[in-house]
């Protein structure tokens, strides 16, 4: 759980660095902004849940919260996929058309 939360922070950091090199294509940037917003929410929620787990109160409620957080994670991943597969951000086509 802690490893997953730490990995989420690392992924967010890598994404923020990658955003600095992304080409400015308005529709793609709108999708990227949504993905970035949900990434921050996802990291925050999983950090909160990891801390909550540390204190061990209300374990049944924690399970429900983890299920909902997993849905948030999946939606954030979906938005990231949309940025790549719908707008081609982060895709380098070497030798295309030559």
Average pLDDT, the chain: 89
Say how far apart CA 36 and CA 32 lie, in whole Å.
6
Largest CA distance in the chain: 61
pTM of the model: 0.83
pLDDT-based confidence at residue 2 (cuts at 50, 70, 90) = confident
- Which pLDDT value is given to residue 60? 87
Q: What is the pLDDT of residues 15-48, one digit of tens each?
A: 999 888 877 778 888 999 999 999 999 999 999 9
Q: What is the pLDDT of residues 55-77, one digit of tens each?
A: 878 888 999 999 999 999 999 99
What is the sign of the dihedral through the CA atoms of 5, 9, 14 and 20? positive
Q: Is the pLDDT of residue 97 over 60?
A: no
């Amino acid at each position: 759980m802690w490893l997953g939360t730490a990995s989420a922070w690392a992924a967010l950091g890598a994404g923020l660095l990658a955003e600095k090199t992304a080409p400015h294509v308005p529709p793609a940037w709108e999708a990227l902004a949504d993905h970035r917003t949900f990434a921050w929410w996802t990291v925050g929620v999983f950090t909160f849940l990891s801390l909550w787990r540390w204190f061990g109160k209300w374990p049944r409620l924690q399970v429900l919260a983890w299920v909902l957080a997993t849905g948030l994670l999946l939606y954030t991943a979906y938005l990231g996929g949309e940025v790549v597969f719908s707008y081609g951000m982060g895709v380098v086509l070497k030798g295309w058309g030559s």
